[in-house]
Amino acid sequence: MAMSSLQLNNAIAKPFFMGMSPSSSYKNSVGRIRCAATTPSKHYTITLLPGDGIGPEVISVATNVLKLAASLEGIEFDFQEMPVGGAALDSTGLPLPAETLSAAKQSDAVLLGAIGGYKWDKNEKHLKPETGLLQLRAGLQVFANLRPATVLPQLVDASTLKKEVAEGVDLMVVRELTGGIYFGKPRGFGVNENGQEIGFNTEVYATHEIDRIARVAFETARKRSGKLCSVDKANVLEASIFWRKRVTAIASEYPDVELSHMYVDNAAMQLVRDPKQFDTIVTNNIFGDILSDEASMITGSIGMLPSASLGESGPGLFEPIHGSAPDIAGQDKANPLATVLSAAMLLKYGLGEENAAKRIEAAVLDTLSRGYRTGDIYSAGNKLVGCKEMGEEVLKSVDSQVPAPV
Ligand SMILES: NC(=O)c1ccc[n+]([C@@H]2O[C@H](COP(=O)([O-])OP(=O)(O)OC[C@H]3O[C@@H](n4cnc5c(N)ncnc54)[C@H](O)[C@@H]3O)[C@@H](O)[C@H]2O)c1
């Protein structure tokens, strides 16, 4: 079995940098992958959730890279592919079928592509693809979302920020994932005292929810440069005043970590003004959602950014931070590297297989150094490739690290 999701001891160290189409029934779609280079000594079950749009394209690439890199470390996988999001709505009528959640819970780790698309945009809320994703995160109880944003030297020109601002950025956003306004009650629609229609949500956090994400963030910061910035809106929101109070209380357990606090509006500004001031950021669900997307643009493209979602026990959920990109889906234009790097996070944080993770990270860097670029990170003088070709080049880079047989 995999290590517990929050056995973070050696996992969160600085620096971060470290085509399958849905089957008709999705049942019994377990395929055993034999290791290529060594006799398998370890065995894991991975649930693959390709989802919608570019999801199946990037999952296909990432799965091949995962298989090859892991096989070189003597690791064997059972993959089970299950439907989620719009694909699940089409095949089962639900955005997260019970079978999908059950398979995910029983596996060692879950690799997700993306969900959503125009087709389901007008569905009722409980039948939206996004509802399936929220149910999956809640069902797996993955409350800690780790979103690294690292400007790779090879891609510094892809950043929209000036080179001197972007160069060397290496930050980690630790986002609370299963609480706050996305889940808080009451929520809904109604009519106010003036007879006007209203929509409303509730931002609410309990002590244990803040304490546990704060501890993950302090542990993360401790393994990086020892600097943690907690982002809130404590000048306006009671939930944020309480957030700040609990984060400050937990700080006493980590005297070696320097804690600062920042309002979210200022943080949004500082991220583009001087992103290098940040190392680890901890924040609630909605602020983390927004700030991590903003941080992604510093790195050049949302197509480069992986994420890990971890719980106290059980399998972690690993996914790129981008969505299903319906505007480029099915055109072989997607950048698969965010998902490939999510597979590296799966190995590192989900399975504790650091060496295999490093093989993937090194292969991505090597592929970029050899000049291969998808459209979203392309700059003049490089080789423009599609999703599949990028995957093939990463595989070549993984392969080239194999020591030649004596
Ligand atoms: N975790 C998820 O599955 C997730 C996250 C965000 C949005 N969504 C869903 O995705 C759908 C589209 O949402 P959106 O357009 O706001 O966000 P998006 O991330 O799908 O796309 C935003 C922009 O980035 C581009 N892009 C995204 N990923 C890329 C990649 N790997 N390579 C190259 N370009 C890439 C897209 O082409 C688009 O121009 C919606 O249905 C939304 O609900 C899902």
- The residues near 371 (Cβ < 8 Å, ≥ 6 apart) are 381, 382, 383
Distance 323 CA to ligand 1 centre (A): 3
255 with 324, same domain? Answer: no
Residue 225, classed as helix, strand or coil, is coil
pLDDT on residue 6 = 47
Cα(84)–Cα(102) distance, integer angstroms: 12
Distance 335 CA to ligand 1 centre (A): 11
- Which of 59, 285, 322 for a ligand 1 pocket mutation test, highest count of atoms within 8 Å of Cβ? 322
In a domain, 4, yes or no: no
266 with 320, same domain? Answer: no
In a domain, 13, yes or no: no
> How many Cβ atoms are within 10 Å of 209's Cβ, its own excluded?
20
- The residues near 300 (Cβ < 8 Å, ≥ 6 apart) are 151, 155, 156, 157, 158, 159, 160, 376, 377
Cα(178)–Cα(344) distance, integer angstroms: 23
Give nearest CA residue, ligand 1 atom 22: 325
Backbone phi and psi for residue 163, each to the nearest 5 degrees, phi listed first? -55, -45
Backbone phi and psi for residue 6, each to the nearest 5 degrees, phi listed first? -100, 20
Which runs of consecutive H residues, i.e. helices, occur in 201-263? 207-223, 238-251
The atom of ligand 1 lying closest to the CA of 55 is: 3
pLDDT on residue 28 = 33
Asked if residue 173 lies in contact with residue 162, where contact means CB atoms within 8 angstroms, the answer is no
In a domain, 34, yes or no: no
Distance 326 CA to ligand 1 centre (A): 7
Task: List residues with catalytic annotation.
Answer: 182, 233, 265, 289, 293
pLDDT on residue 15 = 41
Show which of 259, 278, 300 is a domain's final residue: 300
219 with 128, same domain? Answer: no
Q: pLDDT in tens for each of the 406 residues of the chain?
A: 444 444 444 444 444 443 233 333 333 333 333 345 556 689 999 999 999 999 999 999 999 999 999 999 999 999 999 999 999 999 999 999 999 999 999 999 999 999 999 999 999 999 999 999 999 999 999 999 999 999 999 899 888 899 999 999 999 999 999 999 999 999 999 999 999 999 999 999 999 999 999 999 999 999 889 999 999 999 999 999 999 999 999 999 999 999 999 999 999 999 999 999 999 999 999 999 999 889 888 987 889 999 999 998 899 999 998 999 999 999 999 999 999 999 999 999 899 999 999 999 999 999 999 999 999 999 899 999 999 999 999 999 999 976 544 4
Show which of 300, 326, 343 is a domain's final residue: 300
242 with 150, same domain? Answer: no
In a domain, 75, yes or no: yes
110 with 131, same domain? Answer: yes
Distance 225 CA to ligand 1 centre (A): 31
Cα(188)–Cα(262) distance, integer angstroms: 30
167 with 296, same domain? Answer: yes
pLDDT on residue 11 = 42
How far does the chain reach from its first CA to its final CA, in angstroms? 33
Number of structural domains the chain divides into: 2
Cα(396)–Cα(406) distance, integer angstroms: 20
Length of the chain in residues, anyone? 406
* Helix orientation angle between 387-400 and 354-369, rounded to the nearest 10 degrees: 120
- Which of 324, 328, 372 for a ligand 1 pocket mutation test, highest count of atoms within 8 Å of Cβ? 324
Ligand 1 and 306: CB distance under 6 A: no
In a domain, 24, yes or no: no
- Alpha carbon distances (Å) from 331 to 79, 93, 182: 26, 27, 32
177 with 295, same domain? Answer: yes
Asked if residue 204 lies in contact with residue 239, where contact means CB atoms within 8 angstroms, the answer is yes
Give nearest CA residue, ligand 1 atom 37: 325
104 with 213, same domain? Answer: no
Ligand 1 and 322: CB distance under 6 A: yes
Q: Tell me, what CATH number does 270's domain have?
A: 3.40.718.10
Cα(170)–Cα(153) distance, integer angstroms: 11
Which residue(s) pair with 160 in the sheet?
none
Distance 32 CA to ligand 1 centre (A): 31
176 with 118, same domain? Answer: no
287 with 325, same domain? Answer: no
Show which of 300, 316, 339 is a domain's final residue: 300
In a domain, 62, yes or no: yes
Domain that holds residue 123: 39-155+303-405
In a domain, 22, yes or no: no
Give nearest CA residue, ligand 1 atom 16: 323
54 with 90, same domain? Answer: yes
Residue 207, classed as helix, strand or coil, is helix
pLDDT on residue 189 = 97
- Which of 112, 286, 302 for a ligand 1 pocket mutation test, highest count of atoms within 8 Å of Cβ? 302
Closest CA to 89 of 127, 140, 144: 127
> How many Cβ atoms are within 10 Å of 19's Cβ, its own excluded?
15
Maximum distance among all alpha carbons in the chain? Answer: 82
Ligand 1 and 161: CB distance under 6 A: no
198 with 106, same domain? Answer: no
In a domain, 10, yes or no: no
